[in-house]
């Protein structure tokens, strides 16, 4: 499991591709998405962004240097911008599903600025049921 404790990850999936099939019998939640972005530094992510880096999923640490790979499929990335992610996925607008944790900072901005499909996810704790 990813050990970065930076924040709830921003998850992007495109609807133009068939679902990714994991190599092992055990599926991770990440296998259902094209790319996962953590430490997006919103709202900068929707503007100029920050340096895009890859995360070593085994250790949870950032790989040194800027990510310059040809494809982001199946990777966990840190930082970057929505424009860079669109380019890496070769997708725009309605082809992208954005899952965020903030109605204003994630859902409204991603829809308004990029035309992405979007949804919000809220963390539940046992305190909600007391």
Q: Which residue has the tokens 């790319």?
A: 35
In whole angstroms, what is the distance from residue 63 CA to residue 58 CA? 11
pLDDT score of 129: 54
The region that residue 93 occupies, defined by phi over 0 for left and psi between -120 and 50 for alpha, beta otherwise, is left
pLDDT score of 128: 53
State the number of CA atoms in the 13 A half-sphere of 41 facing the CB: 14
What is the block-wise mean pLDDT of the chain (130 residues), using blocks of 10 residues?
A: 44 53 66 86 88 92 90 88 88 81 73 80 60
pLDDT score of 63: 94
């Amino acid at each position: 499991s990813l050990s970065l404790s930076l924040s709830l990850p921003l998850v992007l999936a495109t609807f133009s591709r068939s679902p990714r099939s994991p190599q092992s019998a055990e599926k991770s939640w990440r296998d259902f998405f094209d790319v996962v972005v953590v430490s997006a530094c919103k709202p900068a992510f929707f503007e100029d962004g920050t340096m895009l880096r890859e995360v070593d999923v085994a250790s949870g640490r950032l790989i040194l240097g800027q990510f310059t790979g040809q494809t982001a499929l199946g990777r966990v990335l840190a930082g970057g911008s929505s424009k860079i992610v669109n380019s890496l996925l070769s997708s725009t607008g309605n082809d992208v599903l954005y899952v965020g944790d903030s109605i204003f900072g994630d859902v409204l901005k991603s829809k308004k600025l990029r035309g992405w499909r979007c949804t919000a996810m809220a963390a539940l704790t046992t305190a909600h049921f007391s």
